[in-house]
Amino acid sequence: MRKPLAPDTRTVVVRSLAITLSVVAALSATVLLAEAAIQDGLDAWDVVRSALIFITTAWLAWGASLAFTGLPGRALRAQDEAPRAPQPPTVVLVPICNEDPVATFARIAAMDSSSRAAGIRADFAILSDTRDEAAALKERHAYVRLLEETGGQGRIFYRRRSSNRGRKAGNIEEFIRTSGGAYEFAVILDADSLMEGATIRTMIARMQADPRLGLLQTLPRVIGSRSLFGRAMQFAAAFHGPVFTRGLARMQGHTGPFWGHNAIVRVRAFAESCALPELTGRPPFGGHILSHDYVEAALLARAGWSVRVDGAIEGSYEEGPDNLLAYARRDRRWCQGNLQHMRLLTAPGLSAWSRFVFVQGIFAYLVSLLWGGFMLASIAATLNAPAPDYFPEPHALFPVFPSDRSKEITALVFGIAGLLVLPKVAIWTGAALSGRDRGFGGTLKAGLSVLTEIALSSVIAPVMLMYQSRSVLQVLSGRDGGWPANQRGEGRLRWRDGVQAGLWISAVGAVTLLVASSVAPDLAPWLLPVCLPMLAAPALITLTSRRLGRSLFDIPEERDMPDIVRLYTVTHASWQNGAQGKARQATPETGVADVAL
């Protein structure tokens, strides 16, 4: 086994600057809070909330550093590259489980056509983990139609496992073990992924050009969103995502991320490095590794392979959740998977940066509890503060009034808000100067979309804080969230859905505000930006799921539909509305070669 690749000088400098920025911001926030608290004497609660504000501000500053790191540089566009001849054998893996077979197989038909048009010879392997027999029968019917319409016999394969051990990671691992020896590269997708043939061609060329490159991750663009919530997320991913991703690429260097899909791997590297253990004990901390992708990236880096992310590679797409509840359900699984990484922090041989990435993922969810803890500690500190002593000196003729602490608190609030807002404003400014904003409706419309997205995400943040806090508490208490099926295409919610899902959040917000108003009335106004959205949680959940027109949140893919999206749309409509063809019984193992590694 080779040693992990050492970071280059630029990567070390970027990491050092980001860590320095985070620490300085955290210390500044802590000093401001301490200056405000010390005026009536420090107590244990002041120490607690000072520690909490240090950690949470450092986390916010770390996220801001990604944006600022990604801002300078050339235009965010990768060159189209061609593989050297002969083209290495490549397979596109599409793991599915209880998906809509018409939509999924129509995407594969579109990608197969796009790949052939780009001069790429790639097999497609559909790896089914569907357990329901009726759903599996529909998959086989769709597979037969796929072969008929693409002429894909011998290059498009379907396999349904008898056991879904290890879920998606186990599904891919089984293919690698049994059939991976036939291929040099594997493009890993999700059921909702779309990828241009030219994108696959560029990825293959990149892998050929760098023999140490074990995995190349693209930045999938979210498409197809219709609701206010979905379109805001779609816009943020398209407008801010490339800059944050470029910052991530500069910061992580050879030890980049793997997001589980829309990436290409070197099959030999993956086979040698990425067999995942089953953790001892019961879920949620034991059993199969849920967030397997970051673990696989760490294992590749441990074995001396380079893992890279490039947000400038275009033509990579996915769908996103169209309402807050669908996002929260998916986020619950991610929460359990990231907290499960606590078991892996001391795994042997991992690079220091891989361990740091695990810590980042863990804190991405623990920080919700820490913010909640900061609010409670602030209430407790205010409640336990001594009554003001207007005559601290005996025989004083004039009262001494306590110093006004609003200056420090206001500076703290605006500083924290700045860490959230300034990176997005800076990205908008950079887009306006470079002309990138033209694809988003121009400078003014893009700016309005940015401001609206900031306002919407700020209002939704307390609601998401509650969902994430509940998820963390469930995991820490030993509750297994399982692997819920993705609710693709789920959009508009009824008022009843919003009330059922958000009433408990409203109750927590009301109790918090009432308690603060009773025991710490001076603190209550500062809690309004958090408690008011919590009170309105049912309305926010419901109204943000409603359809939004094209008045805001334009993205380039809507102004100029990519060829692969157009091809999929036409194919899907044809498959849905046209004749379904003869329903033939296809065997689960049709066409999959069993080539041992």
Would you say 212 and 218 are in contact if contact means Cβ atoms under 8 Å apart? no
Would you say 258 and 216 are in contact if contact means Cβ atoms under 8 Å apart? no
CA distances for 106 relative to 124, 151, 186, 408, 415, angstroms: 13, 14, 20, 58, 49
Amino acid found at 98: N
Would you say 260 and 292 are in contact if contact means Cβ atoms under 8 Å apart? yes
Nearest alpha carbon to residue 98 among 172, 195, 192, 221 = 192
* Alpha-carbon torsion, ordered 397, 403, 404, 406, to 10 deg: -170
pLDDT at 584: 41
For 382, the token pair is: 């205010």
Q: Is the pLDDT of residue 461 over 70?
A: yes
CA torsion sign for 419, 420, 423, 429 is: negative
Q: Is the pLDDT of residue 499 over 50?
A: yes
Q: Is the pLDDT of residue 331 over 90?
A: yes
For 130, the token pair is: 């569907």
pLDDT at 537: 97
pLDDT at 393: 60
For 22, the token pair is: 């985070």
Q: How confident is the model at residue 55 (pLDDT cuts 50, 70, 90)?
A: very high
- Gap between the Cα atoms of 56 and 54, Å rounded: 6
- Gap between the Cα atoms of 150 and 567, Å rounded: 13
- Gap between the Cα atoms of 115 and 528, Å rounded: 53
Q: Is the pLDDT of residue 316 over 50?
A: yes
Please tell me which of 210-214, 403-407, 483-487 the model is most confident about, judged by mean pLDDT.
Answer: 210-214
pTM value? Answer: 0.90
DSSP-assigned states of every residue in 429-470 = HHHHHHTGGGGGT-HHHHHHHHHHHHHHHHHHHHHHHHHHHH
pLDDT digits (tens, 9 = 90+) for 111-129: 999 999 999 999 999 999 9
Q: What number does CATH give the domain 1-385+410-492+545-578?
A: 3.90.550.10
Amino acid found at 200: I
- Gap between the Cα atoms of 337 and 168, Å rounded: 13
Q: Is the pLDDT of residue 215 over 70?
A: yes
407 or 87: which leads in pLDDT: 87
CA torsion sign for 194, 197, 201, 204 is: positive
